[in-house]
Amino acid sequence: MRRCLLAVLLAGTLLVTGCATVPTKGTIRNSDRKGLAADSGGVNVEAKPPRENADRDDIVNGFLEAMSDSRRSFDQARLYMTPQAAAKWKPEVRTVVYDQGAAPPAAKGDDYQLTARKIATIDDRGEWLPAGPKEQADFLFKMIKVNGQWRVDSVPPGVLLNANQVQAKLAPRELFFFARDRETLIPDPVYLPQNNLSAGQAATQLIQELLKGPTKRLGNGAVSIAPPGTAVVVSVPVELGEATVALNDAAGQLVDDDRRKLAAQIVWTLNQIGLKVKITVNGAPLLSDNTGVIQFSSVAENDPAAPTTGSTVLYGLLGGKVHRVEGLDGASDQAARALNSSQLYAYDAKSFAVNLRGDSGAIVTTEDGKRVVAYAKLVDAENGQGDKAKTIPVEGRTLRPSYDNADNLWILDRADSSAPRLRVRTRDGDVQNVSVDFHGDVPQVLRMAPDGVRALLVLKSAKTRKNTVQTATVRPADNGKGLVLDQLRDLQVPLNDITDAAWSKKVILVAGKPDGSPTAQPWLVNTDGSTPQPLPGGSPIFGIENVASNANPETLPVFEDPEGKIHWQGRDLAWVTPNDDKLGDGLIPTYPG
């Protein structure tokens, strides 16, 4: 299913720059990109030069076809243009992807007009930017004769690509950078031309892109350990599945700890194409204690997903009281266990968040008639006789809080006002304001990724009053004082009446109504908005109100229907409805995060 959907929706993500061409040995191995759009098949079209005395229609169609073949730096495409237009053309600046079902360009006198639904725009770094539902790709092909031959005399805005021409051209990849804590890696998705690259060419391409730093999506919210000027010496050769990344002397200035972090960025980036990695600086090993292949296990602690321990346990509220849920995996009886040894159990909670280690939680509640976020350990070593839960005053409608991997607690209140407020309680107890401008949109859901940099939001549009799914980036303010949430991007998920969204493995899980559906259904979408698709396993017969999930690949997403009953998918993708009465009615589910 994912391969077919990729062919339609992802195909236009051709990045037209930076492909290494140094011949190297080895073959590309498929990587494990669970949850991400898979590499598609498709027909690999090789561009042909214009025929002698070709008519205008053939020239326009040949030009469009030639734009799908970047292997020769678009030299063939330029042959369809006048010399003046070819000299001005900058195909590397962006790629406009339009609907493959569109009508061919229509004649307008001697010229031709292309008008089609725009699917997305790809920028010069390979970022996928979904188009709005009413956006169109429009371009007028001005035609004149040069030496008796029809040629295109207008300059396209980058590359125009019909989606069915690029199914074999694209490879979804991730570049890895560090969060502000310099402990957790952040995946930065890009789409790179594959064009039958050798393993060495693909590795060189990836490392060159990595050393350019984060894309605009992450900006200075992410950290690259590579010092300015760090570059690959010539290329990345691959022998028997082992890539040797030879860096110049710019990386030699790094201290040992930063060398290990740079190694983590490189190993994670190349691991996705199945390569083992050696890294050198000026011919010497990057890591003084490792002269050979850097084992992936040595950098696994920087995993961008939720930690394994504790993060796959389901929690929830029953009657306003905090509970832990057992038996989702079938290994034990299904049951909701009251966390009555926690200080939080004394409160009547409106919503419940659990940290990623599963040892602490936070609730939205009231104390002495005032609304607060209370937080405490989930299992009190003194059987409920420990210190009182700590509280943070909140105002107005307060969304369910969210934790990141550094144990920071993110709180968004005043959500029903003209100035919603976002704050973060750091693990040392300080509460900091985070500057944000939702431009009049009303926040409905906030979910922080484990890295504490990427935010997932459901926002009610001030213009359409419809809910949208958006991502955003938390970064240091430009003046160096405090944090800012910006780079809000609408993922343009094709669902109506969206009710909830959550991180789920490497993608985003959304609840909303597809066209023609009377009930909300679970859909997946990549974190950049590409490849929206129904959750594999078939649509459930029940509707969905709330979603519980997180980035841990072992987590079983849980769904609450409008009647307050929960459901989940087993490992075999079959839908499960609990046989425990308490689980089946009234539990508000939540996973750590």
Q: How far apart are CA 411 and CA 493, in angstroms?
A: 25
pLDDT mean over 366-386 = 82
The answer, yes or no, to whether residue 2 has pLDDT greater than 70, is: no
252 in the same domain as 220: yes
Question: What single letter denotes the amino acid at residue 256?
Answer: D
| Dihedral (Cα; 572, 446, 513, 573), 10-degree rounding | 0
Q: How do residues 402-450 score in pLDDT, each as one tens digit?
A: 999 999 999 999 999 999 999 999 989 999 999 999 999 999 999 999 9
Please tell me what DSSP assigns to residue 30: -
Supply the DSSP string of 111-154, one letter for each residue: EEEEEEEEEEEEETT--EEEPPTT-EEEEEE-EEEETTEEEE-S
Which residue in the block uniquely carries the two structure tokens 């009615």?
A: 585
Q: What is the pLDDT of residue 8?
A: 35
pLDDT mean over 494-502 = 97
Q: How far apart are CA 298 and CA 267, in angstroms?
A: 10
Helix (H) or strand (E) holding 536: none
248 in the same domain as 223: yes
Question: What single letter denotes the amino acid at residue 14?
Answer: L
Q: Are 211 and 236 in contact (CB under 8 A)?
A: no
Confidence of residue 37 (pLDDT cuts 50, 70, 90): very low
Q: How do residues 61-109 score in pLDDT, each as one tens digit?
A: 999 989 887 666 789 999 999 999 999 999 999 999 899 787 889 999 9
pLDDT mean over 230-253 = 96
β-bridge partners, 174: 189
> What CATH number should be reported for the domain holding residue 569?
2.120.10.30
Determine if the pTM surpasses 0.85. Answer: yes
Is 196 within the bounds of a domain?
Answer: yes
Is 266 within the bounds of a domain?
Answer: yes
Q: How far apart are CA 68 and CA 163, in angstroms?
A: 9
The answer, yes or no, to whether residue 526 has pLDDT greater than 70, is: yes
Q: What is the pLDDT of residue 384?
A: 47
Residue 403 in tokens? 């934790």
Q: Please provide residue 250's backbone torsions phi and psi, each rounded to the nearest 5 degrees.
A: -60, -35
Supply angle C-alpha 460, 118, 83, rounded to 5: 140
Task: List the end-to-end C-alpha distance of the chain, in Å, as a whole number.
Answer: 29
533 in the same domain as 424: yes
410 in the same domain as 472: yes
Q: How far apart are CA 577 and CA 565, in angstroms?
A: 8
Is 27 within the bounds of a domain?
Answer: no
Q: How far apart are CA 270 and CA 174, in angstroms?
A: 9
pLDDT mean over 235-251 = 96
Residue 515 in tokens? 């066209």
Which residue, of 302, 336, 357, is where some domain finishes? 302
Q: How far apart are CA 243 and CA 450, in angstroms?
A: 29
Q: How do residues 181-214 score in pLDDT, each as one tens digit?
A: 899 999 999 988 876 789 999 999 999 999 999 9
Is 38 within the bounds of a domain?
Answer: no
Confidence of residue 15 (pLDDT cuts 50, 70, 90): very low
> Three-class SS of residue 269?
helix
Of 210, 139, 215, the residue nearest 175 (C-alpha): 210
Q: How far apart are CA 97 and CA 113, in angstroms?
A: 16
Which residue, of 134, 165, 196, is where some domain finishes? 165
314 in the same domain as 449: yes
Q: What is the pLDDT of residue 168?
A: 63
316 in the same domain as 375: yes
448 in the same domain as 345: yes
Is 250 within the bounds of a domain?
Answer: yes
90 in the same domain as 178: no
pLDDT mean over 138-151 = 97
Q: What is the pLDDT of residue 380?
A: 66
Q: How far apart are CA 483 and CA 310, in angstroms?
A: 29
Angle between helices 256-271 and 199-210 (to 10 degrees): 130
Alpha helix segments (H runs only) across 322-379: none
Is 18 within the bounds of a domain?
Answer: no
β-bridge partners, 314: 325
340 in the same domain as 191: no
CA 431 to chain centre: 28
Which residue, of 126, 142, 165, is where some domain finishes? 165
Q: How do residues 256-275 score in pLDDT, each as one tens digit?
A: 999 999 999 999 999 999 99
Of 131, 47, 51, the residue nearest 97 (C-alpha): 131
Q: Are 558 and 565 in contact (CB under 8 A)?
A: no
List the single range of 281-285, 286-290, 335-339, 585-589 with lowest mean pLDDT.
585-589
pLDDT mean over 355-364 = 96
Residue 258, class by beta-carbon neighbours within 10 Å (0-12 exposed, 13-18 middle, 19+ buried)? Answer: middle
Of 31, 18, 26, the residue nearest 198 (C-alpha): 26
Q: How far is CA 357 from CA 43, 285, 424, 445, 449, in A?
A: 47, 35, 18, 22, 14
Question: The dihedral of CA 63, 67, 72, 75: what is its sign?
Answer: positive
Supply the DSSP string of 275-304, one letter for each residue: -EEEEEETTEESBTTB-SPPPGGGGGGG-S
Number of domains composing the chain: 3
Is 13 within the bounds of a domain?
Answer: no
Please tell me what DSSP assigns to residue 469: E
586 in the same domain as 450: yes
Residue 371, class by beta-carbon neighbours within 10 Å (0-12 exposed, 13-18 middle, 19+ buried)? Answer: middle
Is 24 within the bounds of a domain?
Answer: no
483 in the same domain as 343: yes
Which residue in the block uniquely carries the two structure tokens 């972090």?
A: 261
Residue 135 in tokens? 């956006």
> In which domain, by residue range, is 497 found?
308-590
Please tell me what DSSP assigns to residue 221: G
326 in the same domain as 183: no
pLDDT mean over 386-393 = 86
Supply angle C-alpha 532, 454, 502, rounded to 5: 50
Residue 160, class by beta-carbon neighbours within 10 Å (0-12 exposed, 13-18 middle, 19+ buried)? Answer: buried
Q: 103-138 as b/e, with b when 16 or more CB fall inside 10 Å? A: eebeeeeebbebebbbbbbbbbbbbbbbbeeebebe
Q: Please provide residue 284's backbone torsions phi and psi, each rounded to the nearest 5 degrees.
A: -100, 150
